[in-house]
Structure 1
Amino acid sequence: MSKVIMVQGTMSNVGKSLLVGGLCRVFAQDGLKVAPFKSQNMALNSFVTADGLELGRAQAMQAECAGVAPSVYMNPILLKPTNDVGSQVIVNGEVVGNMSARDYFAYKKQLVPDIMTAYNELQEWADVIVIEGAGSPAEINLKSDDIVNMGMAKLVDAPVILVGDIDRGGVFAQLLGTLELLEEDERARVKGLVINKFRGDKSLLDSGITMIEDMGKVPVVGTVPYVHLMIDDEDSLSERLDNKWDSSSESLIDIAVIRLPRISNFTDVAPFESINGVKVRFVNNPREIEGSDLVIIPGSKNTISDMKWMRESGMEAAINRFSLNGPVVGICGGFQMMGNTILDPEGVENESEDGLALSSIRGLGLLPIITILQSAKHRSQTEDCFDDLTGIYESLSGEEFIGYEIHNGITNIDYDAIEDTFSKEESPDLVERDDEGKIILVQNGNILGTYVHGIFDNGDLAYRLVEALASKKGVVLQSQDYDFNAIKEAEYDKLADVVRNNLDMDFIYSLIK
């Protein structure tokens, strides 16, 4: 039987995902076989496994920290919000359907066997399973049917570390309040408290820590400093989206990422954040595009709705103006928006933001493509190489890439929009297809669209594109031996150092032994 430890938080975004990742890395460095686990995750950032199944991106990151391949068993239930009151429900990596919050609440207890099957699969090989909770265990209106916090801890008899976020204020109230709202048996499971995201002199916390330990009868087993790490974030609570994290002290190249209302898989831009001299900004105002060197339109959970927002907000006009002289990259939903038309004959996306059904919408018109949304979701890992790209993207030609696809819909060349398929003036410069003949990438001049998530994670592809942008602008980047995979591994090691140096690891090991 695997040993187990669980990390829960006083609320969302206290840093649970990174602490779990850090623990996974520490245990792996110490020679243990480690598996992360989160029974239920709500996030729009997801990953596709080698067998074509979908799980939360945070659990994929934690698997990388542990040095193991991501598996759907690490996240058997994934909820992807489609609007403010409902989500797409994914069980064991496959879509079950869309449910309202109330319907899912009534349904989720039926998923306990799926949760335990997944957990038991990990027990077959893991020495240690590190479980992540969700939100707070003290949501007293939801506790009766909990399957992700104390409900999960009870299912597998896990000791719990409770984490509070001092950066958002009120950390002592967070921790003590959470303990007070737990049932007696739940409170007994909490073996240690962690104060996360601390800035300043730790000695200033000493008196508060003494008081909270006296009042809560639970030891504080670590105060973790606020650190900037280039590691995938779980969801839209990421401070990257609010531009609170400056990715470069000296900005030579400026990249504007459109902050769509239903943005998903924004981790696709992470490689650019790790390049010296590059500033990545998430923007939702058309004026913020001005002065950029590259615009990226990321993925979307509701492409038609977000395209409607682009038009109404003025972002469409701003992007079209920018594209006359500047490069624009679209990924997945952003790629679909670049076309002439998006059709939804099956009602896949169901509703626009104002609640009115839209069966089609005109796209940005940047590429001569047409997309038809389909109820069946395409999920696959994709391995290919760039063909002969032109212009700003030329340096990527011939380079191999590995990524993954998650999308509802198929994209084709819009032949009605092209008078002569072979006309150089009208046809795209490049159309790449997979082994089944499906389009995965289209380039035309400054415009590049692709279905492949993680396409810039490979080697130095992001750096090559930034070098081309710098050359066009007439600036010189600081010389850098750039390999994004190596950078990620170094960041995971830094995360492990932070955890090892700031948590009482002897105490942590005593819990799993």
Structure 2
Amino acid sequence: MAKVIMVQGTMSNAGKSLLAGGLCRVFRQDGFRVAPFKSQNMALNSFVTKEGLEMGRAQVMQAECADIEPSVYMNPILLKPTNDIGSQVIVNGEVLRDMPAREYFRYKTRLIPDIRKAFQKLAAENDIIVIEGAGSPAEINLKENDIVNMGLANMVDAPVILVGDIDRGGVFAQLYGTVMLLPPQEQQRIKGMVINKFRGDVTLLDSGIQMLEEKTGIPVIGTVPYCPLNIDDEDSLSTRFEGTAPSLVNIGVIRLPRISNFTDISPFEMVPGVGIRYITRPEELAGLDMVILPGTKNTIGDLRWLWETELAETVQRMAARVPVFGICGGYQMLGRMVSDPDSVEEGGSLKGLGLLPGETVLKRQKNRRQVRGRLSLRTGILGMPEDTEYRGYEIHMGETRNEGGEALTCRADGEVNGLQQGNVYGTYVHGIFDTGNVAEQICRTLAAKKGVVLPENSGESFRQRREKEYDRLADLVRESLDMERIYGMLREAAWRDE
């Protein structure tokens, strides 16, 4: 019978995803078959499995930590916000429909059989399941019929580790308040508390920890120091949006209101001497060496925002002298027109930036597939002599018709899924920069044009460097948490299929 343990947080971005990933890595290193699980995930960063099913990126990261293939069973429910009051509801990797928040709140208990089925599948194949909660278990306005925090912990009889974020202040109030807002039977599920993202002398916490333990009766099982790691984040609270200081090469990412799959930018963050800035105003584009338009959950709405903020005109002018690269929704925006005849998003049509000779028509059918093929950077500043084999995935609602552009990416079946013209490049392929050392090659090309030299790198691929980051995360967990206590929690907890 699979052992279970659950990581919950006092708030979003407390560090649940990374700590769950770190535990997956530790357990895998210790010889166990381990899998992550999150019953319901709200995020715009998603992934497509080899079966063509959609799941949250955080559980993909955790699966990579566990050294196993990502599976939709690890995240049976994915909510992708489409506006401020509703989301696209994805169940078992496929779109159910768009729902306003209140409708989903009433509907969600119907999904308990899907949650149970997914969990049973993982439990049958693994020794340990590391479960991640969502937000906070003390969101008392949402606790009724909870399926992702204590409701799930009760369902699978999981001991809980509660994580608080000291970097955002008030960690003792976070932890104490969360515990006190829970009914006694749920308080008893919390077997340990963790203080996350601490900077400074850890002994300064001693008196606070002692009082917290006395008041709650729950031990603090570790203090995790603040440690920058280049590992994919889950949601829009990501600190990476703060950007980096000016560097030898500077890349600007347009921070669209409904930005999605910003994890596509991660490979650039691992190149020494390269800075990333997230852009919301035209004046912030000054001095950049490349501009990226990332994915979005609302292409027409975010394209309208580009025109309203005058970012669209600024990017149009910049394309004469710097590369502009669009991915998925960003690729659609770079064309001449985006049309929505079936009201998939907002309906109507809107002119694109006109930097690529393509027109997009949004359709209700979502394209989801892993893809491999050929990347050909032939034109403009980024022109490279050799084609590169790539692997990635597509998630998009719509088709882009090529009206005379040169292929940037082709699938293995020969179908063009990306265009280039001059300094402008666009593709439907997420993960395109994960390929080999493509990101580093691009950055060195930009550096050479600028007359600067980037520091030498190790020669490792992005994926090799990412594996090292996972090992660093595991080391951090081992050094910071009382693993003996955690293994004790596991020994006392075994999920039983009812």
Give TM-score, length-normalised by structure 1: 0.94
Letter in 2 for 1:328: V
Corresponding position of 2:483: 505
Distance in structure 2 (CA, Å) of the matches to 1:478 and 1:495 = 25
| CA distances 1:43-97 after superposition (whole Å, capped 9, x unpaired) | 0000000110000000000000000010000000000000000000000000000
Q: What amino acid is the match of 2:133?
A: G
Cα offset, 1:363, TM superposition: 0.2
* Alignment match, 1:265: 261
SS at match of 1:275: coil
Moved more, 188-197 or 381-390: 381-390
Shift of 1:483: 1.1
What residue is the counterpart of 1:448 in the other structure? Answer: 425
- Deviations along 1:93-143, one digit per CA (max 9) or x if unpaired, are 000000000000000000000000000010121110000000110111211
- Report matched runs for 1:427-446 at 5 Å: 427-430=404-407, 432-434=409-411, 438-446=415-423
Q: Give secondary structure in 2 for the equivalent of 1:375.
A: coil
SS at match of 2:89: strand
CA 1:340 to 1:190, structure 2 compared with 1: closer, same or farther past 3 Å?
same
- Gap regions ≥5 residues in structure 1: 352-357, 415-426
Structure 1 residues 51-450: aligned runs within 5 Å: 51-243=51-243, 246=244, 251-349=247-345, 351=346, 358-387=347-376, 389-395=378-384, 397-414=386-403, 427-430=404-407, 432-434=409-411, 438-450=415-427
Q: Which amino acid aligns with 1:489?
A: E
SS of corresponding position for 2:445: helix
Q: How far off its partner does 1:398 sit?
A: 1.6
Task: Confirm or deny: 8 A CA contact 2:196 2:223 kept in the other structure.
Answer: yes
For residues 277 and 216 of structure 1, the distance between their equivalents in structure 2, rounded to whole angstroms, comes to: 47
How far apart in 2 are the matches of 1:215 and 1:396?
66
SS for the counterpart of 1:479 is coil
The question of 1:486 aligning with 2:464 is answered yes
Report the secondary structure of 2:360's partner residue.
strand
CA apart distance, 1:16: 0.3
Distance in 2, Cα, partners of 1:232 & 1:296: 18
Query: 1:388 Cα deviation (Å)?
Result: 6.1
SS at match of 2:470: helix
User: Does structure 1 conserve the Cα–Cα contact (< 8 Å) formed by 2:377 and 2:384?
Assistant: no
Equivalent residues of 2:335, 2:353 under 8 A apart: yes
Asked if structure 2 preserves the Cα contact closer than 8 Å seen for 1:276 and 1:478, the reply is yes
CA contact (8 A) 1:463 1:482 kept: no
Q: Please tell me the residue identity of whatever aligns with 2:200.
A: G
User: Secondary structure at the residue paired with 1:453?
Assistant: coil
The CA deviation at 1:406 is 0.3
| TM-score normalised over the length of structure 2 | 0.97
Q: Which deviations, in whole Å up to 9, do the C-alpha atoms of 1:287-344 show, x marking residues without a partner?
A: 1111000000000000000000000001001101110111000000000000000010
Deviation of 1:359 (Å): 1.1
Contact 1:257/1:297, CA 8 A, preserved across alignment: yes
8 Å CA contact 2:377–2:408 kept in 1: the answer is: no
Q: 1:396 to 1:237 in 2, by over 3 A?
A: farther
Give the distance between the partners of 2:348 and 2:456, measured in 1 at CA. Answer: 49
Structure 1 segments (4+ residues) deviating >4 Å: 435-438
Give the drift of 1:482: 3.7
Shift of 1:432: 4.2
Does the 8 A contact of 1:396 with 1:461 survive in 2? no
Greater shift, 482-491 or 380-389, is seen at 380-389
Identity across matched positions, percent: 59
User: How many angstroms apart in 1 are the aligned matches of 2:379 and 2:334?
Assistant: 18
- Rounded to whole Å, the distance in 1 between the matches of 2:377 and 2:64 is 32
1:354 alignment counterpart:
none
| Equivalent-residue separation in structure 1 for 2:101 and 2:55 (angstroms) | 20
Structure 2: segments with no counterpart, 5+ residues: 492-498
Following superposition, the deviation at residue 395 of structure 1 comes to 2.6
Query: 1 CA distance for matches of 2:255 and 2:125?
Result: 40
CA deviation map 1:190-231 (0-9, x unaligned): 000000010000000000000000001000000001110000
Deviation at 1:6?
A: 0.1
Shift of residue 439 of structure 1?
3.1
Is contact 2:9-2:163 (8 Å) kept? yes
How many Å separate the matches in 1 of 2:252 and 2:99? Answer: 34
Distance (Å, rounded) in 2 between the aligned partners of 1:377 and 1:486? 32
The number of residue pairs the alignment matches comes to 490
Q: Which amino acid letter does the alignment assign opposite residue 172 of structure 2?
A: F
**Shift in Å at residue 382 of structure 1?**
0.7
Distance 1:436 1:460 in 2: 24
Q: Report the alpha carbon displacement of residue 270 of structure 1 after superposing the two structures with TM.
A: 0.5
- CA RMSD, 1 decimal: 1.2
Residue-by-residue CA offset, 1:461-506 (whole Å, 9 max, x unaligned):
1011111111111111111124100110000000001100000000
Q: Distance in 2 between matches of 1:181 and 1:494?
A: 35
Q: Quick check: 2:361–2:400 contact (8 Å CA) kept in 1?
A: yes
